[in-house]
Structure 1
Amino acid sequence: MGLVNVSSPEVFVLLGFSARPSLEPFLFIIVSGFYVVSILGNGIIILVSCMDVHLHTPMYFFLANLSFLDISFTTSIVPQLLVNLWGPQKTISYGGCVVQFYISHWLGATECILLAVMSYDRYVAICRPLHYTVIMHPQLCLGLALASWLGGLTTSMVGSTLTMLLPLCGNNCIDHFFCEMPLIMQLACVDTSLNEVEMYVASFIFVVLPLGLILVSYSYITGAVMKIGSAEGWRKTFNTCSSHVAVVALFYGSIIFMYLQPAKSNSHEKGKFIALFYTVVTPMLNPLIYTLRNKDVKKALRCIVLENCCGFAGSWEHI
């Protein structure tokens, strides 16, 4: 048997949407706009959560973490996507590809856990309101946030490292717009059974289990809501949970729709657009959902704007 060339390629070719070149300029404009709105929207959420003392609560602490995560996730993918959409070059360096799938894997797993943590926070707020401040104390909130970030980092280090160690035999074409771990595995010229087992186990732990915890939390919340007799109580509970439910539905809905598709070429093309949705659109919608449906955030934002405007006017009068 002859020796197989197992050298890693210097660059990867991200085919992305190159099969539809007429669509690329349009996608460049749309993705650029969504990316800017996502950065601004999530940045505003972080700003108001830090500056307004009335928002120094567990709910907004976790929301600020989610916004920072969304900024990081989109930034790990979108700039390279825009470069590939703009020009004829569709390449990414080997090191850039490795960094991209390490970070995207890390942040994707972290978001799954963080959304489950946020659902637990809503469960305690509604089902055990008298004990809320005792249960959701700052040390627990910090510990849950760290567990989310470190849990995502752990699965990324294990899965991505196992993927990086696979010999690729010179094959460097990835039929996607970013470096995703399952697609890197498809380029390997050796048996990937161990990697696939690790990926399935990690998917169960970091996707299925958090989703199960979210569903259990909201089943208890639903039971508590059914016992509320007043319309005011119903409205307050709906306002408290609706934003989180919408974000969970967007995030998990796109993931489930993407990975439950049959393995056909047309399904793979649809998968790229679904991936584009949860990579670009969902992080942009998250802050809009929380700001448009949340009176506290809108009030805090108005106060910050008014204070800055008044401060600027005062400083201008002294000139």
Structure 2
Amino acid sequence: MTETPAAITARDVVKRYGGSGRGRGAPVTAVDDVSLDVAAGEFFGILGPNGAGKTTLLEILEGLREPDGGTVRFLGQPVWPRNTALLDRIGVQLQASAFFERLTAAEQLQTFADLYGAPSGRVSEMLDLVGLTDKAGTPAEKLSGGQAQRLSIACALVHDPDLVFLDEPTAALDPQARRNLWDLLREINARGKTVVLTTHYMDEAEFLCDRVAIMDTGRILELGAPAELVRRLDAPVRISVDAAALPPDRARALVAALPGGADGHPDIGATDASTVLSTRRPAPVLAALAEADALAGLQVRGATLEDVFLALTGREYRA
């Protein structure tokens, strides 16, 4: 039985910029010995702070940029030198939407369909998929930010590619538009498309992605399913209750009576409105709070992908 090749196989990929010529300084390594596999039908995320190398890696995977070292293959075929046989199997949605001037949404899509030789009827099908049927006659420049992003994704899908690359598709969108776009992206993936996504939003990656690679300084620091990466962090659970129901002094007395000794007791903190207990053993703490009738305003927060991201990449501001 022949094994189906991975959608993407990258091995030892390197990309450097600068460093040649007088006064140009040392070279910058944007992608530093990256290897990864993306399975067919997978929703794969690439995460990292500004300057981590995400977009450069994405452009190499797409075959838009030549690596200085290493190889990338799509369904077993090399993507560089530019492999024209793969063009109709790859869809790309760029970070910033750019459309032909003065064309309506339907005309934009028709132009892309004609370029790829897509069958008749594909334009109306795609408008329906991205929820823009009622905007078919609207000029692209008159669309809202969320509508423009959906049109951009439709243009990337109009030729029915096997693999779709999305570079920060929800950047600068309001929460409602982001959620609508998430539903669309999940539907696209459910249709069997392999999706590779870069994003700054950890909740987005946690919601959408089967696996994520967290990058910084050109390297992959961690790779795995979001839930798996969170479990590896082994972070405490934060239990927060209304400070009026459980002032910090009362909380300290309550946890002092818990079994397990001082090492097993929660750390106690406070905000203006809440008392916060941090523990790796939440069950006895919650039971004690219930027995003390101190559950008002209860919130229980475990670690998230954002905690993993910050633990790996740090908290300093990246311009």
TM-score, normalized by the shorter chain, greater than 0.5: no
TM-score, L = length of structure 2: 0.20
Higher radius of gyration, 1 or 2: 2
Using CA pairs under 8 Å that are at least 6 residues apart, name the structure with larger relative contact order, 1 or 2: 1
Structure (1 or 2) with the greater strand fraction: 2
Structure (1 or 2) with the greater helix fraction: 1
